[in-house]
Amino acid sequence: MAFTIKPLLRGIGLLLLVALVLLLSDLSNRNQSSQNEANKTKLSSDEVFSPNKKLKLALIQYSDAPISEQTLEGILAGLADHGLVIESDYDLDISNAQGDVGTLNSIFDAIKSTKYDLIFVSSTPTLQVAVRKITDTPVVFTTVADPVKSGAGTDFNNHLPNITGISTTGAYSEMADLVLTILPGTKVIGTLYSPGESNSVVNRNALEKSAVANGLRLVSVPVNSSSETTDAALSLCSQNIEIVVQIVDNLTSASFLSILKTATKAKIPVFGFVESQVTDGAIAAVSRDYVQAGKDAVRLAVRILKGENPKDIPFEHVSKTKLVINKVAARKAGITFPAGILENADKIIE
């Protein structure tokens, strides 16, 4: 009899264990659901968004540059800020072209065959392809220097009917003020730019305009691939520049460490327009907040998902800019910051 009871007891025990696991799983799901509802109640009525169906969203990125990662962080945070829970309220399909235009076009061809409620795009090359290929689905761009020159509209108020978004054109006049405050007497600055990226050309020209307006001369050297970055940086540093002020584009953002290493070896300080560049070792940056740019894009997207027509939503500039200082890098370069600069800094690396 003992030989027949033991297997039976083991079977009963296994059933009880399975039941306990299912019970705990159900309790966990209920607790998560309760927490989600509690989070939504903390939001104001204009912030919370409770869709009547599960949303299908897409995000298309051009490359893995730090600003792309920060933009993604902002989009996810923005969706959460509006009470939306991933896998419960929405699915987000993320595609990255890894800096290849052919791959980017293929991604959009695949995207067109799937019905999405809304598509996010980040970076100028991505917006340019969206302008050509997406005509029916709402598109919200972010981390784009100049959406007008990207073909999305004639100005911020008059644009393609299915597209709106957030511009992150660089803080060039602020940078000129910063350079001349920290290093008065500076006459020549330098930057690398990518002729193949229209946003890079826009940024290079905008930097030159601000430089000239402040009595500075800009030396710029073109670079066409990441493998050319070090040689281009060496060429730039050999042209009697006093500071590298590196503009934002996909190629140089991904290759920034090579630029920084070359300039540092030549004892030329580096300033930038991306916060992570200061973390890497640049002296200072006047950075558009790319996390905030992602959040700002979601704010526009929610308006569309609630029923507004994209054509009635003007393009906007990102709502936050940050001054970031690296005192360690400055000390190594023999640079001392005026007290006012430190007092106004949003972040200081000690």
- Residue 13 in this model has a pLDDT that exceeds 60: no
Question: CA 64, CA 229: separation in Å to the nearest integer?
Answer: 17
Work out the average pLDDT over 100-119: 95
Task: Please tell me the least confidently modeled range out of 26-30, 69-73, 278-282.
Answer: 26-30
CATH superfamily, with its number, for domain 172-289+322-349 = Response regulator (3.40.50.2300)
- Residue 331 in this model has a pLDDT that exceeds 80: yes
What is the reported pLDDT for 1?
38
Per-residue pLDDT tens digits for 42-93: 555 557 888 999 999 999 999 988 889 999 999 999 999 999 999 999 999 9
Tokens describing residue 99: 């800096």
- Residue 4 in this model has a pLDDT that exceeds 50: no
Work out the average pLDDT over 279-288: 95
Q: Does CATH number 1.20.120.140 belong to domain 55-169+290-319?
A: no
Question: CA 166, CA 314: separation in Å to the nearest integer?
Answer: 9
Residue 96, classed as helix, strand or coil, is strand
Which of 311, 317, 14, 344 lies closest to 164 in space, CA to CA?
A: 311
- Residue 34 in this model has a pLDDT that exceeds 60: no
Domain ranges for the chain, please list them: 55-169+290-319, 172-289+322-349
- The runs of H, that is alpha helices, within the chain are 2-41, 66-81, 101-112, 124-133, 172-182, 198-213, 229-237, 250-254, 256-265, 275-280, 290-305, 327-332, 339-344
Q: Cβ distance 111 to 60 under 8 Å?
A: yes
Q: How far is CA 314 from the centre of its chain?
A: 20
What is the reported pLDDT for 32?
47
Kindly report whether the global pTM for this prediction surpasses the value 0.85: no
Per-residue pLDDT tens digits for 208-256: 999 999 999 999 999 999 999 999 999 999 999 999 999 999 899 989 9
Question: CA 103, CA 115: separation in Å to the nearest integer?
Answer: 20
Domain 55-169+290-319 and domain 172-289+322-349, same fold? Reply is yes
- Residue 125 in this model has a pLDDT that exceeds 90: yes
Which of 132, 99, 103 lies closest to 249 in space, CA to CA?
A: 99
- The runs of H, that is alpha helices, within 306-347 are 327-332, 339-344
What is the radius of gyration, based on Cα positions, of the chain?
A: 25
Tokens describing residue 228: 């050319």
- Residue 33 in this model has a pLDDT that exceeds 60: no
Question: CA 247, CA 171: separation in Å to the nearest integer?
Answer: 10
Work out the average pLDDT over 24-29: 50
Tokens describing residue 240: 């009697």
Which of 154, 178, 138 lies closest to 287 in space, CA to CA?
A: 178
What is the reported pLDDT for 19?
52
What is the reported pLDDT for 238?
97
